């Protein structure tokens, strides 16, 4: 049996010798007694056995045990391999007999074959032979560089991320200043490993090798930034790396931005704020030009990077993002204050460039942020001309996208026009999906009633007389509906009003009311935030808060609100204009509407020690804090506590559950406020209503409901019907509880008509039912484009409102009413 095993082993070795002549084999040295010895060095010997040359290594203490290292047929190859092998392995064997193991020898042979010019120190390093490094025969090669790659043992140890070996090499006086054929030092390789290795190298860095530039002109900081190694980058900076140093066309900040490494960017800017303004020498781009993701854009903008910075070609970051079709980056830049009308090379606007991408989503993203759709370039070419002459499949969609927001056709005599842009053309394009909603049908009955009421002002004058306010200017009030992320629609409408009037919204209204998203917006306006800023605020909110599944993290929402409004800012810190924000006290049945105010409530104001009677709360409900104690962020959180989207804010839920359209509640509040003043004999402070403006977050499409019947099922089919019916009924109850359109608006309009008060309502018809927590930029841009179409269709109404508002300003109420008569006639 043993004989058969030996025969099988011999046969197997023979096959392996033929297939892989470099496979290590354990042999008996006595088998070579009758073979020709070609040469011998120490424990290594080369024999000729028949037609092959066999290199073996002897065990020093065992005369009959050896390893066959290779078996080659050509003498020159065998001699060459043997000479190189014994020169490199002899020192290692002398340093430690632990090398004489089959697996270890195989690693050494394979490594040496791949890297025949490496020294014994290279091999010891690569195989982790730490104990061999201090042997004199190996130590003398500790700083030897490979003649081909220029790599030294210290480079190999760092590349392999072997911390203990790096420490040993440093102790053995390995030089950190050695450079390889590419100009890289050990620091360049350490930049992609870990901070411990950098610390070890720093103990020997006397000549500040940490700032050495490689053949590409880049320092270790560049390398760390390119490979997203934020800890290494931080450690390099600690040990004196200079982020302002480069011999390439870019700085470390550009590398970090290119790779979208948020942490690296933060570290670099924290230690060297000047990085934000550094331009690369090739394109002249600031770091924000190099951004590839919206997160990177947001971070750079937050850190203070100029969103309108120009490169050598005069391009802003928006130009670059448009050319790359990065819609999310485009929206992020625009929401951070980037100029949508920036002019570039040859007078091309951003819209010109967007149209050249032939991407409808890119074009919409530029339009909804206020770009001029009729701005010509240096050659007199209008945006519509580019769209109409596109050869892409999206040509009709591009023309339609422009036409619906008022893009003009080319002037007469313009060359190269097509039917989509020439002055007498008929083609207005076609939508790429759902068409834009049609213009609103006028509410004729209400408008006629209101006009008639204004023509006979007896009741109007009687109302004025009853409160003795003949000389007082009317209050201009603004009501903002709830609707989650659709609050962007409110901002878009307010921007149009602001542009038409030429004044900030905050200066045109005396009283604000808001629910949920409208309440947050009202508070933002009250505290001096511009509409462009609030648009960015909403985009930041959906990116930072609407993360994961519902219900969303309430702590993130609260932190966001604290950051925007301040943790200690109270409702009464800003008293003009007045604002009321709705919330629902849900700790009782039936639930109650609560109004967060920046003034004392009318009922509280009307109470005095002589008139108020002590009340007994049999339910022992804790009283709500007064305006002077109520933090603004908490009021915003309460009004936005939409069930299933966020946790309740203590006992408060979203105000939209009772007053999603707070217009009537605002009118009631003003009436009660005036009555309280009259009760307190302060008629001189009373003011009538002068104008009511109500804004909605958009009307969703009307869709059919097949079944809303809930009944006792009589079979399996009825069970299915019951399920659909129950779902439809649930949706119906939710819709009606949060109703902000339809009869709710009709009641407000009728209320104002009865007392001859101008009433304006704006709420666009949307193409899709946009969820309250929608986050996709293309969906939001489509929603805002629908709004822009609506505003263009109602531009005359917007202009009339602007004239009424400016006329009412400064007490010119009667002139304002006359303007309003023109608006509704």
Alpha carbon distance 190, 824 (integer Å) = 74
The string of pLDDT tens digits covering residues 646-672 is: 888 888 888 778 888 999 999 999 998
pLDDT of residue 63 exceeding 60, the answer is yes
Higher pLDDT, 17 or 464: 17
484 backbone φψ class: left, alpha, beta (φ>0; ψ -120 to 50): left
| pLDDT mean over 122-135 | 86
Q: What is the CATH number of domain 484-605+626-699+760-824?
A: 3.40.1090.10
Q: Where are the beta strands (DSSP E) in 156-220?
A: none
The string of pLDDT tens digits covering residues 27-61 is: 887 788 778 888 888 778 888 888 888 888 887 77
Q: Which fold has domain 340-433?
A: 1.25.40
pLDDT of residue 200 exceeding 60, the answer is yes
The string of pLDDT tens digits covering residues 593-646 is: 899 999 888 777 767 544 444 444 446 777 888 888 899 999 999 998 888 888
Strand partners, 10: none
Strand partners, 649: 652
Catalytic one among 396, 654, 777, 786?
Answer: 654
Q: Could you give the C-alpha distances from 158 to 134, 161, 197, 253, in angstroms and in order?
A: 18, 5, 7, 24
| pLDDT mean over 395-420 | 90
pLDDT at site 817: 44
- Report the percent of the chain where pLDDT is more than 70: 84
pLDDT at site 495: 96
pLDDT at site 440: 57
Catalytic one among 516, 763, 767, 807?
Answer: 516
pLDDT at site 48: 85
pLDDT of residue 464 exceeding 70, the answer is no
pLDDT at site 655: 78
CB 190 within 8 A of CB 178: no
Domain ranges of the chain: 19-114, 340-433, 484-605+626-699+760-824
pLDDT at site 462: 41
CB 702 within 8 A of CB 688: no
Alpha carbon distance 55, 68 (integer Å) = 6
The string of pLDDT tens digits covering residues 742-784 is: 778 888 888 888 888 889 999 999 988 888 889 899 999 999 9
Interior angle at CA 251, CA 211 and CA 239, nearest 5: 30
Q: How confident is the model at residue 360 (pLDDT cuts 50, 70, 90)?
A: very high
Alpha carbon distance 774, 486 (integer Å) = 9
Alpha carbon distance 315, 342 (integer Å) = 9
Alpha carbon distance 444, 332 (integer Å) = 41
Q: Is 771 helix (H, G, I), strand (E, B) or coil?
A: coil
Most confident of 200-209, 230-239, 692-701, 713-722: 230-239
pLDDT at site 80: 82
Q: How confident is the model at residue 825 (pLDDT cuts 50, 70, 90)?
A: very low
The string of pLDDT tens digits covering residues 300-345 is: 999 999 999 999 988 999 999 999 999 999 999 999 889 999 988 8
Catalytic residue check, 516: yes
pLDDT at site 809: 66
Tell me 570's DSSP state.
B
pLDDT at site 619: 63
Higher pLDDT, 789 or 431: 789
| pLDDT mean over 485-512 | 94
pLDDT of residue 297 exceeding 70, the answer is yes
Torsion of CA 92, 97, 103, 104, to 10 degrees: -20
Q: How confident is the model at residue 369 (pLDDT cuts 50, 70, 90)?
A: very high
Q: How confident is the model at residue 812 (pLDDT cuts 50, 70, 90)?
A: very low
Q: Is the torsion defined by CA of 428, 429, 430, 434 positive or negative? A: negative
Q: What backbone phi and psi angles, to 5 degrees, belong to 689?
A: -75, 140
pLDDT at site 33: 76
DSSP for 300-366, written as a single string: HHHHT--TT---TTS--HHHHHHHTT-HHHHHHHHHTT--TT-B-GGG-BHHHHHHHTT-HHHHHHH
pLDDT of residue 186 exceeding 50, the answer is yes
pLDDT at site 719: 53
pLDDT at site 255: 95
The string of pLDDT tens digits covering residues 273-292 is: 999 999 999 999 999 999 99
Alpha carbon distance 661, 482 (integer Å) = 7
Lowest mean pLDDT of 262-266, 447-451, 604-608, 620-624, name the range.
447-451
The string of pLDDT tens digits covering residues 670-725 is: 998 888 888 888 887 888 888 999 999 998 777 666 665 555 565 566 555 555 55
Alpha carbon distance 288, 326 (integer Å) = 13
pLDDT at site 720: 54
Give kind and range of the element (H or E) at residue 257.
helix 252-258
For the chain, the average pLDDT equals 83
Tell me 639's DSSP state.
H
pLDDT at site 690: 87
pLDDT at site 813: 44
pLDDT at site 545: 92
């Amino acid at each position: 049996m043993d004989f058969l095993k030996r025969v099988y082993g011999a046969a197997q070795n023979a096959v392996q010798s033929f297939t892989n002549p470099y496979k290590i084999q354990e042999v008996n040295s006595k088998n070579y007694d009758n073979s020709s010895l070609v040469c011998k060095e120490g424990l290594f010997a080369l024999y000729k056995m028949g037609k092959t040359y066999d290199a073996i290594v002897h065990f020093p203490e065992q005369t009959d045990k050896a390893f066959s290292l290779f078996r080659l047929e050509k003498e020159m190859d065998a001699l060459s391999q043997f000479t190189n092998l014994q020169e490199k392995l002899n020192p290692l064997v002398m340093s430690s007999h632990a090398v004489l193991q089959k697996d270890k020898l195989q690693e050494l042979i394979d490594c040496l074959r791949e890297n025949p010019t490496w020294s014994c120190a290279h091999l010891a390093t690569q195989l982790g032979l730490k104990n061999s490094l201090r042997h004199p025969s190996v130590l003398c090669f500790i700083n030897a560089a490979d003649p081909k790659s220029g790599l030294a043992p210290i480079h190999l140890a760092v590349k392999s991320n072997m911390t203990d070996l790096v420490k040993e090499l440093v102790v053995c006086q390995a030089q950190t200043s050695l450079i390889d054929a590419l100009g890289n030092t050990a620091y360049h390789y350490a930049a992609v490993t870990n901070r411990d290795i950098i610390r070890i190298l720093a103990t020997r860095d006397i000549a500040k090798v940490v700032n050495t530039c490689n053949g590409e002109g880049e320092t270790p900081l560049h390398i760390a930034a390119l490979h997203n190694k934020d800890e290494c980058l931080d450690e390099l900076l600690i040990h004196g790396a200079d982020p302002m140093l480069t011999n390439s066309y870019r700085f470390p900040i550009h590398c970090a931005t290119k790779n979208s490494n948020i942490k690296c960017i933060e570290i670099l800017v924290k230690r060297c704020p000047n990085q934000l303004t550094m331009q690369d020498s090739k394109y002249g781009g600031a770091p924000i030009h190099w951004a590839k993701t919206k997160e990177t854009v947001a971070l750079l903008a937050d850190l203070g990077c100029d969103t309108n910075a120009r490169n050598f070609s005069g391009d802003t970051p928006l130009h670059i993002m448009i050319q790359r079709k990065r819609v999310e980056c485009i929206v992020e830049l625009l929401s951070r204050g980037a100029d949508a009308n920036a002019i570039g090379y040859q007078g091309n606007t951003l819209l010109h460039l967007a149209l050249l991408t032939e991407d409808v989503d890119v074009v919409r993203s530029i339009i909804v942020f206020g770009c001029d759709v009729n701005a010509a370039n240096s050659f007199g070419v209008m945006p519509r001309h580019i769209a109409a002459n596109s050869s892409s499949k999206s040509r009709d969609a591009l023309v339609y996208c422009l036409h619906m927001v008022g893009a003009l056709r080319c002037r007469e005599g313009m060359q190269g026009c097509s039917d989509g842009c020439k002055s007498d053309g008929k083609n207005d394009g076609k939508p790429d999906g759902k068409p834009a909603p049609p213009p609103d049908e006028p509410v004729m009955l209400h408008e006629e009633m209101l006009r008639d009421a204004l023509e006979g002002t007896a009741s109007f004058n009687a109302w004025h007389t009853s409160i003795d306010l003949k000389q007082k200017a009317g209050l201009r009030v603004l009501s903002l509906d709830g609707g989650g992320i659709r609050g962007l629609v409110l901002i878009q409408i307010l921007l149009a009003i602001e542009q038409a009037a030429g004044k900030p919204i905050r200066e045109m209204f005396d009283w604000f009311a808001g629910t949920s998203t409208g309440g947050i917006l009202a508070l933002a306006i009250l505290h001096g935030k511009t509409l462009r800023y609030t648009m960015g605020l909403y985009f930041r909110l959906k990116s930072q808060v609407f993360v994961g599944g519902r219900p969303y993290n309430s702590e993130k929402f609260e932190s966001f609100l604290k950051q925007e409004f301040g943790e200690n800012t109270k409702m009464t810190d800003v008293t003009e204009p007045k604002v009321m924000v709705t919330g629902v006290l849900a700790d009782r049945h039936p639930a109650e509407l609560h109004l967060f105010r920046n003034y004392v409530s009318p009922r509280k104001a009307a109470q005095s020690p002589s008139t108020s009677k002590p009340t007994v709360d049999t339910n022992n409900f804790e009283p709500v804090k007064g305006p002077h104690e109520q933090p603004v962020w908490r009021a915003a959180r309460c009004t936005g506590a939409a069930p299933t989207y966020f946790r309740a804010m203590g006992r408060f839920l979203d105000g939209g559950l009772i007053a999603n359209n707070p217009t009537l509640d605002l009118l009631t509040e003003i009436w009660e406020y005036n009555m309280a003043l009259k009760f307190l004999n302060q008629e001189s402070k009373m003011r009538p209503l002068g104008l009511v403006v109500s804004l909605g977050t958009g009307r969703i499409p009307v869709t059919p409901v097949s079944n809303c019947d809930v009944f006792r099922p009589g079979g399996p089919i009825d069970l299915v019907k019951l399920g659909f019916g129950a779902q439809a009924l649930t949706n119906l109850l939710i819709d009606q509880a949060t109703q902000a359109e339809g009869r709710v608006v009709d009641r407000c309009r009728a209320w104002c008509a009865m007392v001859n008060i101008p009433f304006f309502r704006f709420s666009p018809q949307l193409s899709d039912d946009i969820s309250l927590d929608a986050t996709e930029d293309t969906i939001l841009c489509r929603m805002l484009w629908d709004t822009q179409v609506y505003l263009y269709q109602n531009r005359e109404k917007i202009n009339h409102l602007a004239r009424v508002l400016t006329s009412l300003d400064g007490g010119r109420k009667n002139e304002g009413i006359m303007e309003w008569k023109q608006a509704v006639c």
